[in-house]
Every structure is written in structure tokens, then in C-alpha cells.
Amino acid sequence: MQVSLEEGVPVFSFFWGDPAGYREPAHDAGAVVMHTVSSAQEARRTVEAGTDVVVAQGWEAGGHVWGEVATFALVPRVVGAVSPTPVVAAGGIADGRGLAAALALGAAGVWLGTRFIASEETPFAPMYKDRIAAAAETDTVYSSLFDLGWPDAPHRTLRNSTIDRWEAAGRPSSGSRPGEGETVATGRHGAPIRRYEEALPDAETSGDLEALALYAGQSCGLISSVEPAGEIVRRLVAEAVQTLDECARLVESN
Ligand SMILES: Cc1cc2nc3c(=O)[nH]c(=O)nc-3n(C[C@H](O)[C@H](O)[C@H](O)COP(=O)(O)O)c2cc1C
């Protein structure tokens, strides 16, 4: 954080816990502080403590998932709790219809994770991106399975062979799962990646990439190709405008 402050980073976004102690140095440097929450109560608390922008992350999100309330029920509650503080909706949004819906729920903007993982610019393994593009909305699993390196932290990943084997074994607890401790891949500089490790496959990972934590949200069903990030943003905006126009016409015709 010190290096980021020295470099003049304009936005600090905190997740997974209380950013107390980090907010003040960020504000002193003139930066904006964002914090990801999963309930109205948490949102209220963080805004009272000085957070500038709240990110409301719904349960359908990819990666580590802080709460268990879905985006549609969460966002209006958080907006109601902290208005006029801006709220950004995260989880399950991958196209302009999702952006339009989030705005209708009172969000000031949207935050997309899975959609951008499957973009050309991210440094992840092509196989991982292709799996996201091929997946349906039913192909993700919410679990705490990939816990080596980050225990007790629920996350959403694509269903894969590691999950299938664990389920077939009766979902044993950490320490006695099938293949526990075995190396399934190697990362940067040949560092071993064990089964159930929280690491995700980047472009330098080799081995059984499919068996690793393939973080993705339910929005994967809305993604059908790996594209440049700029294209994704341009289409997102055009689709949202079109969707909002269609909604306005619906109102006018009544
Ligand atoms: C691979 C991956 C890594 C993520 N890492 C972080 C992170 O380091 N910090 C953070 O605040 N959120 C992280 N997230 C969560 C996203 O910020 C966001 O809440 C989520 O992706 C939104 O749902 P979506 O995937 O449906 O778009 C990550 C998500 C994914 C898929």
C-alpha cells in the first residue's frame, strides 16, 4: 500500500475484511476508497467509517465470494442503506442487459470479473479463458474446496475433475480429500502447485491446468468468446443503451 500511495494510485479497493487503518492513509493521499460488502448492514458500517464507494458483491460472483445474498436482492438493499453514497453492483453481470438492470436497481455502476478474465489482455492460461467461454450458467460450483493458501474462504469456480473426484468421495473434509498433497501443475519458476491450492492457471502454469481452481461466476453462461477488453466495454455500453431505450419505449406505449 505504501508503494501505491507513493505512486499516486487514485483508487484503493478493499475486499475480504475491515479496511480500518487503510482508509485514512488513502484519503490523506487524496485517493478514493472502495470496499466490497455483502449486506446492507455491512455497507452502512463501512460508509459510516468513511468509505467513498461501496461495491455490493452478489453470491453468483466468480472468485472469492464474501456473502450469500444474490445480486438482485442485495443491490437495492445496499443502495437503500447508504444512498447517496455510490454503489457498484458486482456478480452475475457480463453484458449490457446486466448493466441496465443494475442501474435500475439503483447502482451507480457495475463491476465485472469473469467477463474480463475471458479477455485477450488478461495473463491467464488460454485453456482457462476458453473454459469460461464454453461454460453454461449451471457449470460453476460454490465451495471452500480450493483452500490451500487461503483457508475458510468460499469461492466460485468452474466444475472440474478435482471437484468431481471430491464429490464422488463423499465430500471429505480438508486433509483427507482424494489426491491431497499431490502436485498437479507448476507455476512461475517451476514452483509446484498442489491439488486444492488457491492458485489459478496463468500463462506460465504448466501441467494439469484443468484440475486447478478455475474461478468463474454464473455470468460465464453469458460469455461465448474471448475478446479484447475494449470491445467488451464498447458492447456493454451499446447494449445497455439499447436495453434502456427498449424499456423507455415500453413505458411510452402504455
Ligand atoms: C479470478 C478472479 C479473481 C478475483 N480477485 C479479486 C481480488 O483480488 N480482489 C477483489 O476485490 N475481487 C476479486 N474478485 C471478485 C471480483 O472483484 C468480483 O466481485 C466478481 O468477479 C464479480 O462477479 P462476476 O465474476 O460474475 O463478474 C475476483 C474474481 C475472479 C473471477
Residue-level pLDDT, tens digit, the chain, 254 residues:
999 999 999 999 999 989 999 999 999 999 999 999 999 999 999 999 999 999 999 999 999 999 999 999 999 999 999 999 999 999 999 999 999 999 999 999 999 999 999 999 999 999 999 999 999 999 999 999 999 999 999 999 999 999 999 999 999 999 999 999 999 999 988 999 999 999 999 999 999 999 999 999 999 999 999 999 999 999 999 999 999 999 999 999 87
CA 162 – ligand 1 centroid, Å: 21
Q: Is the CB of 102 under 6 A from ligand 1?
A: no
Instruction: Confirm if 95 and 235 have CB atoms less than 8 A apart.
Output: yes
Per DSSP, the chain holds a count of helices (H) and strands (E) of 9, 11
CA 181 – ligand 1 centroid, Å: 26
Pocket test for ligand 1, best of 57, 87, 122, 202 (most atoms within 8 A of CB): 57
Q: C-alpha grid cell for residue 112?
A: 465485472
Q: 102: alpha, beta or left, given left = phi > 0 and alpha = psi -120 to 50?
A: alpha
CB atoms within 10 A of CB 180: 14
Instruction: Confirm if 90 and 110 have CB atoms less than 8 A apart.
Output: yes
